[in-house]
Structures are given as structure tokens and as C-alpha cells.
Amino acid sequence: MILDRVNSPIDLRQLNSAELETLAEEMRELIIKKVNVTGGHFGPNLGIVETTIAMHYVFDAPNDKFIFDVSHQCYPHKMITGRKEGFINPEMYLKYTGYTAPEEGEYDLFKVGHTSTSVSLACGVAKARDLRGEKYNVVALIGDGSLSGGEALEGLDNGATLGTNFIVIVNDNDQSIAENHGGLYDNLKFLRDTDGKAECNFFKALGYDYYLVKEGNNIEALIKTFNKVKDINHPVVVHVCTQKGKGFKLAEENREAFHWILPGALNEKSGDVYGDGEGYTSITNDFILKKAKEDKRIIVINAGTPGVFGWNKTFREQLGEQYTDVGIAEEHACAYASALAKSGAKPIWAVMSSFVQRTYDQLSQDLCLNCSPLTMLVHWGGISSADATHLCTFDIPLIKNIPNMVYLSPTYKEEYMAMLNWSVVQNERPVAIRVPNIELTSKGEEDNTDYSVLNKYKVMQEGENVAILGVGNFYPLAEQTAELLKTKLGIKATIINPRFLTGVDKELMESLKSNHKLVITLEDGLLDGGFGEMISRFYGCSDMKVLNYGSLKEFTDRTSLDELHTRYRLKPELIVEDIKKVIL
Amino acid sequence: MILDRVNSPIDLRQLNSAELETLAEEMRELIIKKVNVTGGHFGPNLGIVETTIAMHYVFDAPNDKFIFDVSHQCYPHKMITGRKEGFINPEMYLKYTGYTAPEEGEYDLFKVGHTSTSVSLACGVAKARDLRGEKYNVVALIGDGSLSGGEALEGLDNGATLGTNFIVIVNDNDQSIAENHGGLYDNLKFLRDTDGKAECNFFKALGYDYYLVKEGNNIEALIKTFNKVKDINHPVVVHVCTQKGKGFKLAEENREAFHWILPGALNEKSGDVYGDGEGYTSITNDFILKKAKEDKRIIVINAGTPGVFGWNKTFREQLGEQYTDVGIAEEHACAYASALAKSGAKPIWAVMSSFVQRTYDQLSQDLCLNCSPLTMLVHWGGISSADATHLCTFDIPLIKNIPNMVYLSPTYKEEYMAMLNWSVVQNERPVAIRVPNIELTSKGEEDNTDYSVLNKYKVMQEGENVAILGVGNFYPLAEQTAELLKTKLGIKATIINPRFLTGVDKELMESLKSNHKLVITLEDGLLDGGFGEMISRFYGCSDMKVLNYGSLKEFTDRTSLDELHTRYRLKPELIVEDIKKVIL
């Protein structure tokens, strides 16, 4: 393999044109093989191989600084910068994270996983260089999908005025995760169609110098242009047109399905990540389609990640005008949804837990201050073995502490359906629902609760001495703990399903004082600022003891769920041990 | 007065050209008179009088929908839409808020006070209209300063593709709050200089149709153009060039100082809001200037609100290259600062409490996940009589629950200086400091604490039975409460200055158990998710009683501080009453 001879970027310069091309093919094959085993970002990495080779050929990393956006396209970079074993040797496949990671070496400046950050970060790197009187190239690589995020646009606006070496490579593969959305993308197309010669140029309007590399998978063309901008003394955008999924025919044809794939997906010859069978995703989407058909005011919104919610093409086409993907633009998604609600539409907006924090000001100001009646569906919330950049443990503290918001956490199918139904029908307030991130369970009977009566918890089992509040995903854990408590200590615990995360059921909590010594809260998320602390505060000046369970304040990084559950004592036997210490 | 004849927008159409001009002059005079009494946004409102008259002359509000950005320029709109008494009658001056407010009538669609929201909100209004098959004009009015915010840029990008009636009026007065920053503003200038004919046009690049009104204080010119875009069937930007501060010579000349003024400022013939005398603002800025001179790696950053921090022109000029105002672009400010820190510079980034939430994802991902060593100064934090849009009670829950962050809350001068010094010198982690929002007090002796030893609270008075934790601004309240407790109940309380908001001093808290029954926490901010709940959780399964004091989860709106302190029981006599109930 040519790759055998590449141990660091400098080795690329020993290769001739043909060898560089072969290298690209080798790298692509390794990516296909590896990602089919581990899962991961597929299409974006296949498309960016040549760009990465040319970047490392022309610039002098790590002296020159590369800042990768969102890291969807950092695999080739990792292969060239001393981490190829993670792609060659199946036993090493999991050694390196799928994102840029400074702990893996000096070629990665930042730990990045949320989109739209590279240009802003690169501004800081360039400014620090100038303040310190140093000389090197600062190069941000941003995919077209990330361009529409507020942070990217703010960064582009500011970067244009740096008056110094500042190179932004825009990887335009004409595709975000799903299709692109926004006027910006029409301009990218216009620039492609006019060979970059059009004067009406988004980047030039901001003040950037501009180059187009139309054949963005041609290493020689890339090297030629990168050589032109190397050591440039002002901000420049290099617009590189690449083929997403290049080298894997199915991925070239179906760019959305192959953006990120599950292990083994290529064997099935379909990158489709949408699962089959009944689950909280499928019942949500059945509900949405039914409601949307009945009521033309229903409108379904997300920001560039329809796959997370199982919103495939068929689903989107069925909704037609009642569906908006705003692209990667979470702030806009929230404000847009709020205004729709205020103007007589019925928005249902879905967001992945990890991305709630991308639109905090809008949640507070545009949505809750205006008390707009919409439904916000929070998906994937809970402790997980995810990469540090994609943790989903922060949504409860983020959402529950905003005035006017109602945050619901259902525990089984019929309850979830009743909450959804209520939320969509009511006209009073914003309602967020934490879509359960566990296997679907059904009780087989309708839930007739009137959820407009806020903060009413539900007693599922009457007991005494110990009361266990099992929130959402952790309701089954509450039941298991109660069972073990019965077996081990002979205590029949009261089991409570709080349902409402945003307030205390004072009456019920007061009533527990008469025959309970200990209240336990179980929540699948961060303890700090969460549901449990609210309960602890409530009982602060009473004799009731309280134990809060949830995750600690830390960025875990691909730590196994079992290890985390043990660390946080989220297992029936560990909880019963703790209970013993407190009440015996 | 002509204004006497204007009770609603429709009355404008009875006026001829000369009368409309006179009306503008009358409105301007009333604004000058009123704002000099009440304080408020001055320059932006003087500039937008003619645009507002023309908007209401041409369009049919409230059937046509106006969405105002940030509300810095909504006073003329209020005068025309039935609220003129709030500007004519001094006794009514405080009747209406300084922001758009739906509770004041159907002409205001949203309660808005944070910038950059209008275009996004307008997208939602337009989409709802189309879904419902209704017909009306949707008009967003956005000032040039707000354009650089991520939400505005996301909204502009998406609005361009609506394919329907969508009108964005850009009020270009060539000035944000302070001067404008970013490439976008060069393009606005270029468009002004070329009479709007240049092809390299930011708005056209996004896909908007485009009109320029170069004489944006000329009612006839405005009416002419607005008539052209009324009932348009596609997205259009009307770029209106206005004179900020028009009609008040000093404000025309010093547009920054007169953006927002204090009561009586016009009598002094200076709109300068920068206070004199020693206070936390002045000692912060003296520190910054001294440090920056000693260490060229120091760089001082803010997002468009230098006035909040007392960073006047002299201050900024002294810092030169070591100062960056990124314009209204908080997300960028945070990521930029983080990258500076990672690249060997020493950033000091200041932000107003109310705006912390505008950059939450960046705080978490760009800053804390990367553990970049910078200093973040949070100003104005605390309960206040502010408008609902500018509350400063949320910063503690927002900042303290992010992993890796250290959030400090000093209580007197030397302590604050020691924290600042440590923060700037250390290279380990992000440090936020809540700049005290109270009168400066000095102990006259240096604080030699090593703040790298985290979460060490300081016992200021040894006592027993009751321990009072007084956080930051509320440390004096802790002392006053202890004093009253001594007088009334003969209890000498332990007084503790926690200093660290981000963690529990477990050793100290454990030790209190031996001779204390009750711990009280006092924090000048939201209880939910705050410091006190963390303490409640800590003592959850012990015999220690805990009482948390702070603000409740609600959007208060211009409620007096005294009323709020009573409501939240933040007064020594009320706290002592509560203590009595718990421990006697």
C-alpha cells in the first residue's frame, strides 16, 4: 500500500501524482471497510479524501492549523496524521474517536462534534497568532450543511474583517445531512453553475477573496488552488465541490441514507437508519401523520436531522407543505415554531437532546416568554455511551428551569399518546415532551389524565416508608428497585410516576410525610439543576430524607452504559444498599 | 398637534405630505422629552420615525403584521397605534414598556427584547398565514446592528426560500449599539455607495429581491418604495438608510452615547452612560488595562455591548489590537475566546447576565468541553426591576451546571481582585466570575487564597445552630440576617462565603453537621437549578435542615425590587421568621 509510506503529512510530498491518486483510493477502501464494521459518518468522509490529501500536501500541519467543522469529515485527516492503524487494523477500529480530539495528538486543535463551529474557532486561532507575532496558516474546513448554523454565519461575518491570513475551505457536496435548506445553497449552486465568476457571491459580499475548485475530487486541481492561497495575507474562501459518498455507488446515489451508517449497513446495500417495528419513534410518527391529515394547521419542524426522528422521505412527502426542515439552524427552528404557534398554526418541533442547548435564548425569549402553544419533542434524552460531544444528559436542567414551560416525561405508550394529544390540542403554553428512549411498553388501557392540571404526579403503587419517584426512562428502574426492596428488606415502597418535570406536586409530596421517611428520585440525566434537586429543595426543612439519582456533572466519552450506571449507582441492588444505610 | 388627529394607523391616510412631515417632527420632540425623563432607547427611535409613519401609511396593521427586532425602535410605532398618551402625558410615561408587548394590544405580535429575532419570527408568521390560506403582508423591521446575530442570519437564509410574501426592512443607520463589526457592514456601505446597484449584494446572494431607500428619513421616498413591495409575492429586502439620533444634534454626532440614555442625560448634554467613581466596573477596567499593558497576550472581548461594562472609547483605544468587539454575535464571541485561549492568548470575555443564554452551546462545546483557560466576566447578575426581556436571574443555573466550568462569586474588592488575578494567570480551565452588582466594599487587606484549590468555601464567622451561606451580592444580606438572628433569637449564626458556585465544599458542609441544625442559602438569582438546590441535594439524606432563598421561576416585568425581595422573602426579618419556624 502507498499508505504504508505515509506516517505523517510530510511523507505525502514524496509521492507523485499517480501515487496520490492511488493513496486516495486506498484510503477510501479502508473507510468503507471500517465504517461498515463500526458504523459512523460515511458519505462525508468518502467525499473529502482528496481535499484532505491536498491540504496536508500543501500546508504544514501541525505548524499550520487545521480546524475541522463538526468532524463529520475528519477520518482521512486522522489516517494521514499518524492514526492510520485505527483504519487498517480491525482490532484498533475503536482506538480513535470519530471526531477531532486533541488528546490524540497535536494535529487536532479542538474536540468538536456539534456543527458550525470551525470558522469562529479559526478566527480565535488567527487572532492569537497575530497577537503573539507568529506566522502560520489558519485553515477552517466547513461542510456546506454546517454553513447555515448561526455560529458559522457569525464567524464568517467576523472572519471577513480579520485583515490577515485566514483560509476557509467550504466543502460543497450539495447536501447537508438531509437535503440543504436556505437561500445560501441556491447561491452555492449559482457559483458552481457560473464557474465561480458570478458577482452575486455570498462570500464576496461578506468581504472574502474567493476561489472555486469545481473538481473537488481532483487532487492536482486542489493542490494548485491551495498553493495559491497558502500564506495569503487576507481572508479567503476556497469553495470546493466534492462528491458526497464518492467511490461507493449506493452512497453517491442516496446521499442522505449514507451520511451516517449503522454497522453492517453496506451488506444490506441500504444505508437506511430508520428502524422497523413499533417503538416510540414509529408511534410518534403515526400520530403526526394522522393529526396532520385531520388538521391542516399542524406543521412539523426540525433542524437538519430528520433521521434522528425517523422522518424518512416517505414521511416528509406525505406531510408536504406541513413539513419544514430549516437545515442546521436550531435557533431559527425554535423562533419559527414559536411564531407559527402564535399565528394560529399547530407546530410540532422535534430536537435531539444534545442539540437543545443550541437554541437556549430562543427557548427562553422567543418561545417561553411569549408562552406560545407548541409541542417540542425531545429525542434520545438519557445517559449513554456516546462520544463526549453528543451527550444527551443535559436537556432536563436546560428545559425545566425556564418559566412558562411544561416539560413532560412519559413512561409508557398510552401515557405518551395522551400527553401528545393534549399538547397538540391545547392553546395555553409551550409543552416539551421527553420521548422515552427505552423499549415501548403498553398498558393496554387509555390514559384519560387531564394534563392541563399541571404538576400532578401519579401514584402507581401505594406503600410506606420509602417512596420512589421514577422519571420517564427510569420508571422501570423504580419498579425493579421497589421489587428488590420488598424482597431484601420487606419494605413495600410507594412508586410514583412524576410525569411533570417542571414543578412539584406539593399536595402529594406533603402527604408522603405522614408515613414515609425517604423519597428517592431517579432521572435519566444530569443531577445538577435537574428534577431531583427540585424535590430535595422542597423537603429541605422537613424531616423527610431524600436521595437523588442521575448522572454526575462530567463529560463522559464513549464510556459503556453499564460502567456509567454502576458509577452513578443506577442499579436496583446499589440503590437498595443506599436505602439501607439511610433508613435502618 | 397633528398627532392629536392620529388615534390609529388609518388616520395617517387623512394627512397630506406636509402634515406627515410635521407629525414626524412632533413625534421626535415627544420622544426627546419623554426619554430624557424616563431614560430609554433614544438614537434608534429618533431615526426610525419616518420609516414607521410610512409603514403604517402603506400597510394595514394589524391585519398586515409588523415584527420589530429587539424593540429598540418601537416607540414611534407605539405612538401611532393608540399608545400616544404614554409619550404625551408625563403621568403616563411608564404605562407602556419600552419593548413590543402583545398585552398592550393587537399591533404587537411578540414580546421582544433580545436582538436578532424578527426575521425568524416573521418566517413563522408567513408560513402560518400560508398554511391557513390567509392573505396579509408580513413585515420584519430589523436594525443593522441586529443583523450580525446568528438567529437573524439563520432566519434570513431560510426566509429567502419561502417563495411567498415576505418583507424585511433593514434599518441601516451605520451603527450598532457601538460601531458595527463584520464584513456584512462593508457590504451595506458598498450598497449605499452604489445606490443599491452593485451586484455583489449580501441579500441578493441569499435570494432576496432588493430595494434601497437612500433617503430613509424622507417619508415620500419611503411610501413610494413600500407601495412597490406591498402585496409582493416573494421575499424582498428594503434597505433603508436612516440617521440614528436624527433631530437631536448631539445624538447625531455621538451615536453610541445616545443609543440608550439615563434619565436627565440630555440636560447634561452628554448621553454618556459610563459612571464615575470607584465601583466594581472601574476596578475591573483598571485591572484589565494594567494587565493588558504588562502582557500582550491579554485580549478583551465582548459582543456589541461595551457600555454595559463601562468600556468607553478611551478604554477601547488604549487596548488597541488587544480589544475585540465582535458585534452582536454572542456565539461567535464565546467560540472565538475559547480558541484564543487554546492558542496561547489570554482572553477576558465580558457578557451581561441576560445574554449568557445566547451562547449556551458554545459555552458547553467550544469552551468547557475543550476546557479552554479563559476569564468570563458576568455583569449585572441578580434580581432586578428590569423588563421581562432583560432579567438577569438565570446565569447561575446556566453556567454552574456545565462540566469543567468554575463559576466564582466574589463578595468584596480584594477577593474579586484575587479571583481575577488567579483566573487570568491560570492555564487549566474556563473561569467565570459573577462581577458583584452591589456597592463596592473593601476590607483593606489582600486576599491570598489559592483559587486553584476548588470549591473551598470561607467561614467568615463561627457560630452554631444556624449556618448562613451568603452568595456574592447577597453576602451583606447574610450578615444582616445573622445580626438580626442574634438580636431576636440570641443565636450566633455561622456565616459562610461560598465563593465557588460550581461545587460543594463537602468537608466544611460535613463539619457543620456536628453543631448546626439548619443551613440557609441566599443567592441573587433563580432557585431552580441554582446554588442552593445543590446544597439541598447534598444534605438530602442527613438530619440537616436546609432553606434556599432566591428568585422563583417566573418572568417578572418591571416589578420593583422591594416587591420582589418581599415576595421571595429576601429580607432579614422575613428570613428570621422562617428560621424560627424551623428550629424552635
CATH value at residue A322: 3.40.50.970
From chain A, pick out residues whose CB is under 8 angstroms from the CB of B548. 537, 540
Residue position matching grid coordinates 497558502: A230
Yes or no, beta carbons of B161 and A183 under 8 Å apart: yes
Chain B residue closest in CA terms to A184: B206
Looking at per-residue pLDDT, the higher value among B418 and B253 belongs to B418
The answer to whether B56 and B9 are in contact (CB under 8 A) is yes
* Cα–Cα distance for residue pair B158/A153, rounded to 1 Å: 13
Weakest-pLDDT range from A37-46, A398-407, B235-244, B266-275: B266-275
Across B163-172, B257-266, B290-299, B473-482, least confident range = B257-266
Q: Are residues B189 and B301 in the same domain?
A: no
User: Span A244-260, mean pLDDT?
Assistant: 85
Residues A356 and A474 in one domain: no
- Interchain pair A183, B201: CB under 8 A: no
A479 & A521 share domain: yes
Q: CA of A281 to nearest chain B CA: how many angstroms apart?
A: 26
The residue-averaged pLDDT of A349-354 equals 98
Q: What is the ipTM of this complex?
A: 0.96
d(CA B478, CA A122): 45
Whether residues B409 and B533 share a domain: the answer is no
Between A254-258, A397-401, B501-505, the lowest mean confidence (pLDDT) is in: A254-258
Task: Chain A: give the shortest CA distance to residue B482, in Å.
Answer: 19
> Which of these, B439, B396, B400, B394, lies nearest to B416 by C-alpha position?
B439
Residues A233 and A87 in one domain: yes
Distance from CA of A528 to the nearest CA of B (A): 6
pLDDT for residue A331: 98
> Which pLDDT value is given to residue B128?
97
Q: Residue B464's domain spans which residues?
A: 458-583
- Answer yes or no: do A21 and A162 share one domain: yes
The pLDDT assigned to B349 comes to 98
- B358 located within any domain: yes
**Cβ neighbours of residue B382 under 8 Å, at least 6 residues apart?**
B353, B392, B393, B437, B473, B524, B525
From A201, A231, A261, the end of a domain falls on A261
Question: CA-based Rg of chain A, rounded to a whole angstrom?
Answer: 26
Contact B366 A110 (CB under 8 A): yes
On the question of pLDDT at A188 being above 70, the answer is yes
Contact B369 A389 (CB under 8 A): yes
Residue B440 C-alpha, separation from nearest chain A C-alpha, in angstroms: 30
The residue with greater pLDDT, A256 or A403, is A403
Closest chain A residue by Cα to residue B187? A205
Contact flag B342-A554 (C-beta cutoff 8 Å) = no
pLDDT of the residue at B270: 53
Predicted confidence at residue A276, as pLDDT, reads 63
Do the Cβ atoms of A518 and B541 come within 8 Å? yes
Q: Is the pLDDT of residue A210 over 70?
A: yes
How many domains is chain B partitioned into structurally?
Answer: 3
Which letter does DSSP use for residue A370 in this model?
A: T
State the alpha helices, DSSP H only, in A42-117. 43-47, 49-58, 75-80, 85-88
What is the mean predicted confidence (pLDDT) over B5-16? 97
Q: What is the mean pLDDT of residues B299-324?
A: 96
From the list A15, A118, A138, the residue with the least C-alpha distance to A68 is A118
Residue that wins the pLDDT comparison between A533 and A179: A533
Q: Which of B199, B232, B261 is the last residue of a domain?
A: B261
The whole-number pLDDT of residue A269 equals 57
In the block, cell 399608545 appears at B83
CB contact under 8 A, B156 and A360: no
d(CA B169, CA B48): 11
A529 part of a folded domain: yes
Q: Contacts of residue A341 in chain B, CB cutoff 8 Å?
A: 124
User: Which residues from chain A sit within 8 angstroms of residue B368, using beta carbons?
Assistant: 555
Q: How far is A336 from chain B (nearest CA, A)?
A: 4
Domain end marker among A261, A293, A328: A261
Our CA-based measurement puts residue B25 at a distance from the nearest CA of chain A, in whole angstroms, of 34
B505 with B381, same domain?
A: no
In a domain, B452, yes or no: no
> What pLDDT is stored for residue B268 in this prediction?
65
pLDDT of residue A70: 85
- Which of B156, B161, B329 is facing A158, going by the closest CB pair? B329
Residue B207: closest CA among chain A residues belongs to which residue? A183
Least confident of A249-253, A481-485, A575-579, B459-463: A249-253
| CA distance, residue A323 to nearest chain B CA (Å) | 11
Q: For position A471, which CATH number holds?
A: 3.40.50.920
Partner-chain contact B121 A339, CB within 8 Å: yes
Subunit contact B335:A207, Cβ cutoff 8 A = no
Residues of B within 8 A of A331 (CB-CB) are: 120, 150-151, 154
Q: Do B369 and A548 touch (CB under 8 A)?
A: no
d(CA A419, CA B196): 52
Pair B493, B579 in one domain:
yes
For residues B518 and B466, the answer to whether their CB atoms sit within 8 Å is yes
Split at pLDDT 50, 70, 90, the class of A270 is low
* 8 A C-beta contact, residue B284 and residue B318: no
Cβ contact, residue pair A153, B155, below 8 Å: no
How would residue A357 be classed by pLDDT, with cut points 50, 70 and 90? very high
Query: Would you say residue B272 lies in a domain?
Result: no
Place of cell 460535613: B510
Is A267 contained in some domain? no
Residue B444 lies in a domain: no
Report the percentage of chain A scoring pLDDT > 70.
Answer: 98
Residue B466 confidence class, pLDDT cut points 50, 70, 90: very high
Is there a domain that residue A184 lies in? yes
The predicted-structure confidence for A471-527, as pLDDT tens digits, reads as follows 999 999 999 999 999 999 999 999 999 999 999 999 999 999 999 999 999 999 999
Q: How far apart, in whole angstroms, are the C-alpha atoms of residue B99 and residue B116?
A: 14
Question: CB–CB of A155 and B370 under 8 A?
Answer: no
Which of A322, A533, A549 to probe the B interface (max B CBs under 10 A)?
A533
Residues B500-552: tens digit of each pLDDT: 999 999 999 999 999 999 999 999 999 999 999 999 999 999 999 999 999 99
For the cut 90, the answer to whether the pLDDT of residue B256 exceeds it is: no
pLDDT value of residue B176: 63
Say yes or no: B374 and B515 in one domain. Answer: no
Residues A544-570: pLDDT tens digits? 999 999 999 999 999 999 999 999 999
**Total Cβ atoms within 10 A of residue B385:** 13
Q: Are the beta carbons of A45 and A268 closer than 8 angstroms?
A: no
Same domain membership, residue A313 and residue A229: no
DSSP string covering B556-575: --S--HHHHHHHTT-SHHHH
Share of chain B above pLDDT 90, in %: 90
C-alpha cell at B358: 445566547
Same domain assignment for residues B421 and B465:
no
- CA A96, A99, A102, A108 torsion-angle sign: positive
In chain A, residues with a C-beta closer than 8 Å to the C-beta of B400 are 528-529
Query: Do the Cβ atoms of A161 and B186 come within 8 Å?
Result: yes
> How far off is chain B from A577, nearest CA to CA, in Å?
14
Arithmetic mean of pLDDT, A274-292: 89
- Mean pLDDT value of segment A240-267: 86
Tens digit of each residue's pLDDT (9 = 90 or more) over A121-150: 999 999 999 999 999 999 999 998 899 999
Residue A93 has pLDDT above 70, yes or no: yes
Both B257 and B293 in a single domain? Answer: no
pLDDT at A268 over 80: no
Q: Which residues of B touch A129 (CB under 8 A)?
A: 343
Whether residue B38 is contained in a domain is answered as yes
Q: What is the pLDDT of residue B267?
A: 78
pLDDT value of position A253 = 84
Residues B409-440 have pLDDT tens digits of: 999 999 999 999 999 999 999 999 999 999 99
